[in-house]
Amino acid sequence: MKVFFKVCFFVSLLSSSAITYAQQLNWTLVEPGIWKAVAGKPDAFDLLKTAGAVPYHAGLLEMGDVVFPVAKADISAAIVDGKTYLRFPLEKNEQLYGFGLNFQTVHQRGKILTLHVDNYAGKDDGHTHCPTPFYVSSKGYGVFINSARYIKVYAGTSVRVDSKAAPLIQDRNLDKNWTSHPYSDAVDMLIPADGAEIYIFGGPTTMDAVRRYNLLNGGGCLPPRWGLGFTQRMQRLTDANGVAEEAKAFEDKGYPLDFIGLEPGWQSKSYPCTFEWDKTRFPDPKGLVQNMLHKGIRINLWTNPYVSPQAPVYPLIKSYTSSHTVWNGAVVDLSLPAARKIFFGELEKNKVDIGISGYKMDEVDGGDTYLWPDVAIFPSGHSAEQLRQTYGLMMQRYITELYHNRNQRTYGLVRASNGGGSALPYVIYNDYYNHQDFITALINSGFSGVLWTPEVRASKTAEEWVRRFQSNIFSPMAMINAWSSGTKPWTFPEVADQVKQLANLRMQMMPYWYSEFAKYHYQGIPPFRAMNLEPGFQGVEVAKEPGKKKVDLEENPYEDITAKEVKDQYMAGENILVAPMFTGQTTRTVILPKGKWYDFYTGKLAGDGQVITVTPGLDKIPVYVKDGGIIPMMPAMLHAPKAGDKVAIEVRYYGEKSGTYRLYDDDGETFNYEKGQYSFRDIKVQRLNGSIKGSISDAVAGKPNTIGKVTFKMMTE
Ligand code: GAL
């Protein structure tokens, strides 16, 4: 085995007999609270560059400096056999979160994962739509590997002979403390490249480390206001008349609708794709798109990137495609600027330039049986692996650029992303459709710098329909994806009213959602996230479940501690806790962190640092608001307010404590906020002898002002 010592390392021989490849790294402060080190010779093609990530320096500056969060001596790197070995410390009572968009587990300690962009296949093994090589620790720091490779992770499973905290040798037969998983003091990673860039994020809290990661990526995305309304994706063979009828039905029935998604049938052929309108179904695309825009409804287009030999763009792009096809379509090497010019030019022409609001970029994730194999050759010389890890990122980045050039925001869907992508305005989805696991993915999205929608497609029963709808409206994209089923919000007449009320609630909460996304952008705070990031959660969590499984020598002889997981409730924005109900459930427990929590609908005290049991009925998804929590609401409009509209705000206030809230405002549609055209208005509410006194700071002169009359509502009597 060859061992390469790199000049930039301190070579530290651990002991004369020990393995000699562990080397300490040189850390450079790159932003406040963020350090970088280089191991070996990293690939020039990495995640941050591919995503086009530019740190949001002002946000990081505001967070301030902190000390390096772990012992530097405990982080080491080695290059062995052309691969990079990394090792990070892990204390006994430390928990790990992240490693991408996992669907079944929040805690990652004890996992062995291969971080690989893929279609999620039912197992949290690292193969997922967004396998971000980023993790945070309950000790308040984070680690990111800026590599577009399939990274192998041993998250606290490996025990070294020279461990400083070597586990005790115990006799399995007689010692009841014997464990099949002795304490591992490290997170080990293997990167199949002869170098990597490593980032460490300081805290002091776990949330701070998450925020610093998002801010390094440029801050979270800020969708247009309309992106936070309601979207309906239509049955795949819908035509222009069908679109017009759908929009009319929504309006006649009084259901909100901000954008309609067209699925594969808008193209003349798909799988592989032609990227041209089907002339029979859509004889006048521009007329349709403009007509819809006039009504306040936008159109989003599905596509996958695989180019049909019958596509008009094919002869131009052919020489920039890979050795292997996907569904008989050519795979464009998006890492080549010349290829991008042609390909994204095609997505712009007669689409973006006639008023299409965005794309849903499908099938850029996997699985292996249909995507290009790892032996595919790309003309740039980048490997199939590197393209696989970054294809979704590049699709998002360059489509967003088309819109940025027009000073127009977009918000769309994508099936793959990766590290570096927090600022890209896309929401991940898939075909997996397990409601419970969809919620766990929503929780994990907050650790991965991405957004996830638990989309609603079809349901077997009215109950399932409502339950799915309820959690969907408390997510980054409220949508029905009827590409196959043709479902509508009113598909189950017996619950059509409940569904309408939920869709209206989504619209009413738009000022809250928009402000929370602004905090994602300017402060890096994920709008949807795990309870584990919530102060006052630790400790109460323990009360819910015991942590040990019983070992049976026949059934599970090496079973060990199972982590306590809370994967069925989450935080939505600053003040709201959401506890979804699943089909068949009439009752559930909810963990309320320490501090008083109030029922969202009634304002009544629900509990304080305890596990409560609730029986909400089919109409309600359990939602709780923090003490002093403020939720700014607007009237239930059918479409999001347009730039320049003035909207009345009802400030709902919960609990006893005085409350403050930063209400974000800008034009909601352009990138002028990047040039300072935005404001945060301070809302304050306090109780005074049985009534409340509320105020909002004045509009800032010279900035967009969409806020009309402001009223205050005391929710807690
Ligand atoms: C799937 C996608 C669906 C739908 C369909 C169209 O891959 O997940 O949402 O778009 O393709 O063929």
Tell whether the model's pLDDT for residue 248 goes beyond 50: yes
Give me the pLDDT at residue 16, please.
Answer: 37
Average pLDDT estimate for 304-324: 98
C-beta of residue 303 within 8 angstroms of C-beta of residue 294: no
Share of the chain above pLDDT 90, in %: 90
User: Which residue's CA is the closest to the ligand 1 atom numbered 5?
Assistant: 483
Give me the pLDDT at residue 368, please.
Answer: 85
421-434 pLDDT tens trace? 999 999 999 999 99
Give me the pLDDT at residue 6, please.
Answer: 39
Ligand 1 mean position to 362 CA, how many Å? 7
Give me the pLDDT at residue 22, please.
Answer: 63
Show Cβ contacts of residue 172 under 8 Å, excluding neighbours closer than 6 positions. Answer: 178
Ligand 1 mean position to 299 CA, how many Å? 17
C-beta of residue 181 within 8 angstroms of C-beta of residue 233: no
User: Which of 292-306, 352-366, 549-563, 596-610 comes out lowest in average pLDDT?
Assistant: 549-563
Give me the pLDDT at residue 1, please.
Answer: 39
Dihedral sign of CA atoms 85, 89, 93, 96 in order: negative
Give me the pLDDT at residue 690, please.
Answer: 82
Beta-carbon-side half-sphere exposure of residue 279 (alpha carbons within 13 Å)? 0
Closest ligand 1 atom number to CA of residue 481: 9
Closest ligand 1 atom number to CA of residue 483: 4
User: Which of 10-19, 127-136, 399-408, 701-710 comes out lowest in average pLDDT?
Assistant: 10-19
CATH assignment of 20-216, among 2.60.40.1760, 3.30.210.10, 3.40.430.10, 3.30.390.30:
2.60.40.1760
Give me the pLDDT at residue 46, please.
Answer: 98
C-beta of residue 507 within 8 angstroms of C-beta of residue 478: no
Q: What does R_g of the chain's alpha carbons equal in angstroms?
A: 26
Residues of the chain with CATH 3.20.20.80: 225-528
Ligand 1 mean position to 479 CA, how many Å? 14
Residue type, 194: D
Ligand 1 mean position to 341 CA, how many Å? 26
Give me the pLDDT at residue 538, please.
Answer: 83
Ligand 1 mean position to 327 CA, how many Å? 14
Give me the pLDDT at residue 13, please.
Answer: 39
Give me the pLDDT at residue 559, please.
Answer: 63
Ligand 1 mean position to 264 CA, how many Å? 8
Q: Would you report the helix, strand and coil content of the chain in percent, each value rounded to 5?
A: 25, 25, 50
Q: In Å, what is the CA distance from 523 to each residue of 45, 64, 198, 539?
A: 28, 12, 22, 27
H or E element at residue 243: helix 240-253
Place of tokens 């997981």: 565
C-beta of residue 281 within 8 angstroms of C-beta of residue 624: no
Ligand 1 mean position to 386 CA, how many Å? 24
Closest ligand 1 atom number to CA of residue 236: 6
Q: What would the 3-class secondary structure string for 164-177 be? A: CCCCCCCCCCCCCC
User: Which residue's CA is the closest to the ligand 1 atom numbered 11?
Assistant: 362
User: Which residue's CA is the closest to the ligand 1 atom numbered 12?
Assistant: 264
Average pLDDT estimate for 135-141: 97
How buried is 500 (Cβ within 10 angstroms: 0-12 exposed, 13-18 middle, 19+ buried)? middle
Ligand 1 mean position to 606 CA, how many Å? 41
pLDDT tier for residue 112 given thresholds of 50, 70 and 90: very high
For the record, the structure tokens of 683 come out as 């809302």
Residues within 6 Å of ligand 1 by CB = 236, 263-264, 302, 362-363, 431, 481, 483
Tell whether the model's pLDDT for residue 616 goes beyond 90: yes
- CA–CA separation, 141 and 575 (whole Å): 24
Ligand 1 mean position to 57 CA, how many Å? 38
Cis peptide before 272, with omega less than 30 degrees from 0? yes
Residues of the chain with CATH 2.60.40.1760: 20-216
User: Which of 52-56, 108-112, 536-540, 662-666 comes out lowest in average pLDDT?
Assistant: 536-540
490-546 pLDDT tens trace? 999 999 999 999 999 999 999 999 999 999 999 999 999 999 999 999 877 665 554
Ligand 1 mean position to 399 CA, how many Å? 19
Closest ligand 1 atom number to CA of residue 415: 8
pLDDT tier for residue 8 given thresholds of 50, 70 and 90: very low
Name the residue of 300, 326, 431, 477 to mutate for ligand 1: max ligand atoms within 8 A of Cβ: 431
Closest ligand 1 atom number to CA of residue 431: 8
Ligand 1 mean position to 391 CA, how many Å? 17
Closest ligand 1 atom number to CA of residue 362: 7
C-beta of residue 528 within 8 angstroms of C-beta of residue 571: yes
Closest ligand 1 atom number to CA of residue 360: 10
CATH assignment of 225-528, among 3.40.50.300, 3.20.20.80, 3.40.50.2020, 3.30.200.20:
3.20.20.80
How buried is 547 (Cβ within 10 angstroms: 0-12 exposed, 13-18 middle, 19+ buried)? exposed
Tell whether the model's pLDDT for residue 550 goes beyond 90: no
Burial of 150-178, coded b for 16+ CB within 10 Å and e otherwise, reads bbbbbbbbeebeeeeeeeeeeeeeeeeee
Average pLDDT estimate for 250-261: 98
Name the residue of 129, 238, 263, 266 to mutate for ligand 1: max ligand atoms within 8 A of Cβ: 263
Give me the pLDDT at residue 562, please.
Answer: 54
Closest ligand 1 atom number to CA of residue 455: 9
**Tally of CB atoms within 10 A around 374:** 13
Tell whether the model's pLDDT for residue 132 goes beyond 70: yes
Give me the pLDDT at residue 3, please.
Answer: 43
User: Which residue's CA is the closest to the ligand 1 atom numbered 4?
Assistant: 483
Average pLDDT estimate for 579-608: 97
Start-to-end C-alpha separation, the chain: 72
For the record, the structure tokens of 419 come out as 């590290």
For the residues of 407-454, what is the DSSP string, one character each? T----EEES---TT-TTS-EEE--S---HHHHHHHHHHHHHHT-EE--
